[in-house]
Structure 1
Amino acid sequence: MICAAAIGATFLSVPPISARTPAVALATDRNALVARAQSLGATNVTGKPAPNGGTTLNGKLGGAQFALVFPAGWKGDSLLYAHGYSTPGMPIAVEADPVEKGPGGALFRAIYDQGFAVGHSAYDKAGLGVETAVRNTKRLRDFITALGGKRVYVLGDSMGGSIVVTLLELYPRAFAGGLARCGVVDSWKTLLGQLTDMRLAYTVLTRDTPYALPGERDVRLDAISSVPPAGTPDPQATAYVWTRMGQVAQPPLALWTAAQKNPDGSEARIVRQVTAIGGFDYDAASLTYPLVTTALGASDMAATAGGWIYDNRQKHYSASGMTAQEETMLNAQIQRVRAAPKATAYLTRWHEATGRINTPLITMHNRIDSLVPYAQEVAFEAKVRANGRDRFLVAYAVPPTRAPLPIGGIEGYTHCGFSPAQALAGWNALRQWVETKRKPGPDAIQ
């Protein structure tokens, strides 16, 4: 395992930027910026115009693609973005123009217009990627610091929220502040256990029905593989993964449709029982998203962690409204699996939050989220409070939102359902907190 000191070692021997070219000049002198980036070890470096006289810098660090956009007159403030979970098989490249086309949408452009450099790094793999994301984002932070960065912030969504918390806990002095949205901020072991329990229960309760998931029933393996053949170009790879997602999503969506036609029927009972066992709401997205995630990601999760990730040998399953006969049947037929100690240790490292933060952190979470339950926020806040670090955390509970699912068009609760105004308010609250040293109030995000 690479130690923290080694991650930034490439940059330690490079003279400070002030010894060469001022940061403000670098942001507008593309040739100097490209040369400086190359001297810091970046490869495949290109520079091109960005809005209002800025510069977009693209290249690779340690083989991982990155993109950074510097505004004209840049004074060193920067924001780095950590993206969320991507289904195994998805391309790992990042958007080359994060200001105009990046995952932050209009938010990145607004932050750029405030005078901040913005950017992100690719991870080394799709799927469960907290470890690689932490390493690559920290490396990009060290890189931008060597280019003249002063206050560097980090923002992440979903798995990216977990990455933000991990970075702040492992590197308490590296970032000026963090914004974790809809994130697995407390525990991957908890979330992956919930997702696994849902698939386990769903497999039993839909057996010999039209609603059974396709393919493999062993919860430790993917139901079907979403990884395209080697060498598949990125656009075709993306289409391949979406096709597999649709195949897995179709049965639970059909079950949900049938449940809505007869709210007192057997299909509705199955939906209620499966979602309750997982700790999710009775909802189409809250049923489908967790099942798709684990049915297409189980093999990667185990391979990444170094063994199977969850142990249910002593667990007794039940759900409100389940008859004694149903409960007995479920517990008799559900697959029992043993966790590998190496895997649970890995998930503790990458990442089980300690709550020991020393950097301003704002979290945002919908009170109902279809993939990462709000309970993650509750547990994380309790850890922060137990460690006496309340002064470093402001947590905002945002009302839930609903939207059509990308597969099937059925409406359900969103995952990371924030409006552009809420997203900008969260960022502005963090920035003002860091700059003024005044903790934002409870109404900063509506």
Structure 2
Amino acid sequence: MVRSLRLRLLVGLFPLMLAMSAASAPIAAPLIATGAEAGKALTPAQARLVEKAVALGATDVQGRPGTDGGLLLGGKLKGAQFALAIPADWNGDGLVYAHGYSAPGTPVTVSANPVDKSGLLKEAYGQGFAAGHSAYDKAGLGVETGAVNTLRLRDLVAGLGGKRIYVAGDSMGGGIVVTLLETHPEAFAGGLARCGVVNSWRDLLSRLYDMRAAYAFLTRGGPYAYPQTDLRRNVIAPEPPTGADDATAQAYVFGQMIKMAAPPLALWAAAQRNPQGPEARIVRQVTTIGGFEYDAASLVYPLVTATLASEDLIATAGGWVYGNEGRDFSTPDMSPQEAAAINAGVQRLKADAPALAYLDRWHTAKGRIRTPLVTLHNRIDSLVPYSQEEAFAKAVAKAGEQDKLAAYAVPAVKAPLPGGVEGYTHCGFDQAQTAAAWNALRQWAEIGRKPSADAIK
């Protein structure tokens, strides 16, 4: 049953890959345009922008005209790739984007044209904003490198003549937005954080690893169990073989995610065949322990993340990040004997103090935002729960900065998963909500009026 799901997962898990990773093709934009851009040359003003980028310290700089007459500018800042689209009628303002979490082993590259697809960056670009994104130094947990590299791109835009510069991000990138606004409020006119880890990585990782610990205990010895039960180790290695090119590496990581999704999806399928059976009880207990909905994606997404992340977390944070000493793993539907068994049998671990200190720095929110911030979250999210928004709002209120926060909750969205089922999405926003959030932020920054409570629906 588990093996038979894998081919269907190639299609069914594609939304997960989009939600968790913004990595795409590496920058390879030639100075001489090709295809639809053939025969075009940079204008003198665009050529000066390319020269200025070099003078500002960018390396491997490449500039080419876009099909709409704008400038596509790419290169590296301190070794990390960036891509920036500057419209022909640039209004002098900019938007830099921080992407979300990508599984360890995912190529650290960005799209050469950051505005070639519908979305936030294209929306801003169409309004005359320079819009771009930066790669991080590593995949996996990347709040620190994401904040550093996104700030460098912001400084480049400012050096090119940018005035009001905004920052936006999704998922882990939403947390990076909060980190930047708390640590460099003077650098940004405002921020937009969607579906973000806006409050605490400690909390999110505790939820994910509580689920992995409970799943390991409740499926032990059965057909849905993972072969590796030590939470401090990956179940399988997510990283591709050394020397793999970007396309091969991306496909390899995708394949490893598929393998990790297969057992819980098979468990979910069995639970749907017998809603009162033991598999349904396991799903209910595992999702309850993590604080998620009884839902296919809310079971699968956290487990896929936790089974592939452990060794990267240790390497990044300088120690183990998750402790469950004293944690009660019982749920209301367990008998006293079952509750005693899981609490006695689940793997007990202690977090390392330096690792927790790292998570607090990168990042537990202090709520000290002095720049307009718009947040957007689905009321139910299958990877980053809405409780992140609630806790963040409390931190902002405690810091006395609630006048700088406009938080919006929108309805949950479901998407197809393998086996003819649906699951709640992570970052399930449509283009109208995206445009409304962006316009609410820029109008707030430009005219000084906080957006209304119904600005985004």
TM-score by length of 1: 0.92
Asked if 1:156 corresponds to 2:172, the answer is no
What does 1:124-163 align with in structure 2 at a 5 Å threshold? 124-163=137-176
CA–CA distance in structure 2, aligned partners of residues 207 and 106 of structure 1: 43
Going from structure 1 to structure 2, the CA distance change for 1:307 and 1:408 (only over 3 Å counts) comes to: farther
Look up the SS of the partner of 2:186 in the other structure.
coil
Alignment partner, residue 14 of structure 2: none
1:403-435 CA distances to partner (integer Å, 9 max, x unpaired)? 023x66641000000011101100010011111
The answer (yes or no) to whether the contact 1:27–1:74 under 8 Å persists in 2 is no
Q: Does 1:94 align with 2:110?
A: yes
Instruction: Return the match for 2:378 from 366, 383, 388.
Output: 366
SS of aligned partner of 2:85: strand
Q: Do the aligned partners of residues 125 and 360 (structure 1) sit closer, same or farther apart at CA in structure 2, a change above 3 Å counting?
A: same
Secondary structure of 2:268 counterpart? helix
Per the alignment, do residues 253 and 134 of structure 1 end up closer, same or farther by CA in structure 2, a change over 3 Å counting? same
Name the CA distance, whole Å, in 1 between partners of 2:325 and 2:244. 40
State the shift of 1:51 in Å: 4.1
Alignment equivalent of 1:208, drawn from 197, 208, 221: 221
Q: How does 1:68-87 map to 2 (within 5 A)?
A: 68-87=84-103
Rounded Cα–Cα distance in structure 2 between residues aligned with 1:38 and 1:388: 42
Matched, 1:34 2:46: no
2:430 is the counterpart of 1:414: no
Matched with 1:198 is: 211
Once the two structures are TM-superposed, the CA of residue 30 in structure 1 deviates from its matched residue by: 2.8
Asked if 1:265 is matched to 2:277, the reply is yes
Q: What is the rounded CA distance, in whole Å, between the counterparts of 1:350 and 1:326 in structure 2?
A: 37
Structure 1 residue 298: Cα displacement:
1.0
Q: RMSD of the TM alignment (CA)?
A: 1.2
| 1:286 positional shift | 0.2
Taking the aligned partners of 1:220 and 1:266, their CA distance within structure 2 comes to: 28
1:164 CA displacement = 0.2
Distance 1:31 1:396 in 2: 41
Q: Give the aligned partner of residue 314 of structure 1.
A: 326
Q: Which amino acid aligns with 1:362?
A: V
Contact 1:28 / 1:73 at 8 angstroms: preserved in 2? no
CA contact (8 A) 2:211 2:290 kept: yes
1:182 equivalent in structure 2? 195
Separation in structure 1 between the aligned mates of residue 409 and residue 268 of structure 2, nearest angstrom: 28
Residues 1:378 and 2:390 are matched in the alignment: yes
Verify the 8 A CA contact 1:79 1:153 in the aligned structure 2. yes
Whether the aligned pair in 1 keeps the contact of 2:269 and 2:419 (CA below 8 Å) is no
| Correspondence 1:288 to 2:288 | no
State the SS of the aligned residue for 1:435: helix
Partner of 1:439: 450
The number of aligned residues is 416
CA 355–409 in structure 1, closer or farther in 2 if over 3 Å, else same? farther
Q: Could you tell me which residue of structure 1 aligns to residue 18 of structure 2? A: none
Letter in 2 for 1:85: Y
Deviation at 1:113, TM superposition (A): 1.2
Please give the alpha-carbon distance, in whole angstroms, between the structure 1 residues aligned to 2:270 and 2:224. 10
**Is 1:231 aligned to 2:224, yes or no?**
no
Please tell me the residue identity of whatever aligns with 2:239: V
Could you tell me which amino acid in structure 2 is paired with residue 47 of structure 1?
G
1:241 aligned partner, one-letter code: V
Distance 1:323 1:442 in 2: 45
Aligned equivalents of 1:183 and 1:444: distance in 2? 19
> 2:131 & 2:44 partners in 1: Cα distance?
15
Task: Give the TM-score of the pair, scaled to structure 2.
Answer: 0.89
- Aligned-partner SS, 2:91: coil
Identity, % of aligned positions: 61
Equivalents in 2 of 1:106, 1:334: separation in Å? 43
Measured in 2, the distance between the counterparts of 1:113 and 1:289 equals: 34
Residue by residue, what CA displacement relative to the aligned partner does 1:121-164 show, whole Å, maximum 9, x if unpaired? 00000000000000000111111111101100011000000000
Shift of residue 193 of structure 1?
0.5
For 2:323 and 2:450, locate their aligned partners in 1 and report how far apart those are by CA, in whole Å: 41
Corresponding residue SS for 1:412: strand
Where structure 1 has 5 or more consecutive residues not aligned to the other structure, the ranges are: 1-25
CA distance in structure 1 between the aligned counterparts of 2:420 and 2:46, rounded to whole angstroms: 45
- Corresponding residue for residue 334 of structure 1: 346
Instruction: Indicate the SS of the match to 2:71.
Output: strand
Bigger RCO of structures 1 and 2 (CA < 8 A, at least 6 apart): 2
1:75: how far off? 3.0
Return the alpha-carbon distance in structure 2 between the equivalents of residues 75 and 131 of structure 1. 30
Q: CA deviation at 1:310?
A: 1.2
Residues 217, 342 of structure 2: 8 Å contact kept: yes
